[in-house]
Structure 1
């Protein structure tokens, strides 16, 4: 676990279905609240669909950054980098969740809690996938960008009804091994009661 890193720079070697399917298999064995298994996966093969999605998301990102008052050059650089990251990675997996098998409640607080459990369960599946990729010698990077423009992702990929985009996992052979980022000391994050 300690040697896993978020890898953003990949060699151009293709990543085959035979390499991706075991990762999704590992993801589906994650624990989930009520065993609802809310995760859904979309492998974005190289091609026009992925490029179109990257362009549309980058345009939204650029507009958001401009709306935030970021200088034009900085906004354009960040949006261009985000577009390249998604369109150029050897493999990309969109992770979604669905509430299809979730428990239904008549009140808003429990409904919100059920949705939070689906998000948490899906995140556990993502962690399994990331660890399986690392074990297989692949680099991977988790991106939360679909949360900022789910309607674009749904429209461009024509996702099934009820699939909520949560994250991208970019995959490839690492170009280089990133150094370990710092971690908060245990004394800052752990309390005993």
Structure 2
């Protein structure tokens, strides 16, 4: 028998609950110094796994980082990779150091960091590059859908989160810092914790500007 929490809401109650949740979610960059129960994180990942995926292969993998020393090591490794890129871009030293420090603080200041990864181990294999790229893209889209589920679930549980794309630029660095399997391809970074503020309500493009009807 399903628990009350797992029984699907229907009708106006479901619409009001979900629309209110989705419309009130914000990216949170500052967190309270309050631990997050690992059981809750596990529940969020379980809900993330209810997302649709290509062929139902569920190509997502999750690395959860809550140990301060590991977070600091990850932030330092990513910070060095970020610094190298910024220096190559020709930015002033002061600007580079400010940006690196801000990046490290953002990671280290979150009680929990989750690295969503992609694996192609169970995806289909094609002999041509074009279809193989499409298969990879389908896997990446599947991971992104799961991340959306996780972040909405976190908001529903009273947690804040922020999606950071930085690991895409240094997947090998992240994989090495966390000793991840070679087949796990980091796709981003989610900071997670109890929010210290409400976040910014950023302007969204109107539906009319991004939609066509045929």
Same-fold call, TM > 0.5? Answer: yes
The equivalent of 1:36 in structure 2 is 57
- Max Rg structure: 2
TM-score normalised to structure 2 length: 0.88
Distance across 2 between alignment mates of 1:38 and 1:172: 25
Match of 1:168 in 2: 189
Relative to the length of structure 1, the TM-score reads 0.97
Q: Which residue of structure 2 lines up, in the alignment, with residue 12 of structure 1? A: 33
Q: Which has the higher contact order (CA 8 A, sep 6+)?
A: 1
Aligned equivalent of 1:121: 142
Work out whether 1:87 is the aligned partner of 2:108: yes
- Partners of 2:126 and 2:200 in 1: how far apart? 46
The SS at the match of 1:53 is: helix
CA RMSD of aligned residues (A): 0.9
- For structure 2, list consecutive stretches of 5 or more residues without a partner in the other structure: 1-21
SS in 1 for 2:188: strand
- The equivalent of 1:192 in structure 2 is 213
Checking the alignment, whether the CA contact within 8 Å between 2:27 and 2:200 is kept in structure 1 is no
Q: Distance in 2 between matches of 1:89 and 1:13?
A: 10
> Offset at 1:35?
0.6
Q: Find the residue that maps to 1:2 and give its secondary structure.
A: helix
The whole-number CA distance in structure 2 between the counterparts of 1:111 and 1:48 is 38
Structure 1 stretches lacking a partner, 5+ long: none
Output the CA distance in 1 between the equivalents of 2:116 and 2:64: 9
